[in-house]
Amino acid sequence: MKRQKSFGSEVPTLYIVATPIGNLQEMTPRAIEVLKDVDVIACEDTRQTKKLCEMFNIHTKLISHHAHNEKESASGIIELLKDNQNVALVSDAGYPLISDPGNFVVSRIIDEGFHVVPISGSSALLNGLVASGLVSQPFLFHGFLPTTRKQLRKVLREYKYFSHTMIFYVAVHRLKETLEIVLESWGDRKLSLGREITKLHEEFIRGNLSDIIDVADELKGEFVLVIEGNAHEKEPDIQEVDITAMVEELIEQGFSASSAIKEVASKTSIPKNAIYDIYTRSLS
C-alpha cells in the first residue's frame, strides 16, 4: 500500500497539469502557479507549451515528453525527482493521460515512491458529457475511435449492449463515415456532437444519429461524440459475442478465418457451420 499526502510534503512531486483545450482564459490560477514554481515542465510539444508560458509569464525550463520518447524521457524525469526537483507534466491541450501520453511515466514514478498530484482543468470529454443532455452517469470514455472500418466495427460490437452513456473522440476527416458505421451497428440512437469545445466556433448538435449524419459533411473541427447507451430492449446472445471474440483473437494471432473457425469448433464442440454463421453475421 502506498499512501500519499499531497499538501505539506517534502517528497519530490510530478504535477499533472491540465491546460486549456482552446480558450486560454480557462487556465486556472493554481495551474499557472504550479508551472511557475516547479523546476521543469515536461511537455508534448515545447513549441506549443512555450506559447502558453509566454501568455502567462512563465519562465520554467521545458523538456520534451511525448509518445515517441515516453520511456526514455520517463527515466530522465525520475532522475530529476531523485535530484529533488519538482516536475510538471502537460500535454498540448487538456488533461495529460487522457488520449495523451503520461500513463507510463506516472506508473513508474509511483513505483519509485515519488508523489503524483493532479491539477484540475479543462477536459473535452467532461465538457461534452455535461452539455449533452444525455444521462451523465454512469458513463464510459473510450478515447479516439479506430480509423479502420474493421477495428471500428470490432469496438462497436464490444460496446453494443452497454447501458452506460458512451463518449468518443473522432478524427476530423472520419466523422460522417464513423457515424454511418455506428448507425449501421447500433441502430438510431440519441447523440450529442460537441465541436470546437471552448473555442470561438463551439457548437453542440443534439439529435438522432440519422439526423446528424445529414449535416456531418459540412462540419469541421475537433469532435466529441456522446451517445446514449443500450436500453436493453434486446439482450445480447452471449454465446455469439464470445464465439466472435474467440475467432477474432485467433485471426489476430495469425490464423486464417477458416483455420480460426476450425480451432474454435474443436475447443467448444460447436459445429463449424454454426460458428461460421455466427462469425459472418458479426461482419455484416
pLDDT tens per residue, range 164-209: 999 999 987 889 999 999 999 899 999 999 999 999 999 999 999 9
C-alpha cell at 91: 500535454
List beta partners, residue 194.
204, 224
Backbone angles phi, psi at 224, to 5 degrees: -120, 120
- Residue 30 pLDDT more than 90? yes
Q: pLDDT tens-digit profile of 39-48?
A: 999 999 999 9
DSSP 194: E
pTM above 0.85, yes or no: no
CA nearest neighbour of 131 among 123, 121, 119: 123
Q: What is the pLDDT, as a whole number, of residue 251?
A: 86
Distance in angstroms (rounded) separating the CA atoms of residues 9 and 205:
46
Per-residue pLDDT, 237? 53
The gap from C-alpha 239 to its chain's centroid, in whole angstroms, comes to 29
284 pLDDT more than 70: no
**Quick one: DSSP state of residue 160?**
T
Q: Residue 28: its pLDDT value, please? A: 96
Please state the rounded mean pLDDT for residues 84-91. 96
Which CA distances in Å does 7 have to 84, 179, 185, 191? 16, 45, 48, 41
13 touches 114 (CB < 8 A):
yes
Give burial (CB, 10 Å; 0-12/13-18/19+) of 122.
buried
Where do we find the cell 493521460?
A: 97
> C-alpha cell of 38?
516547479
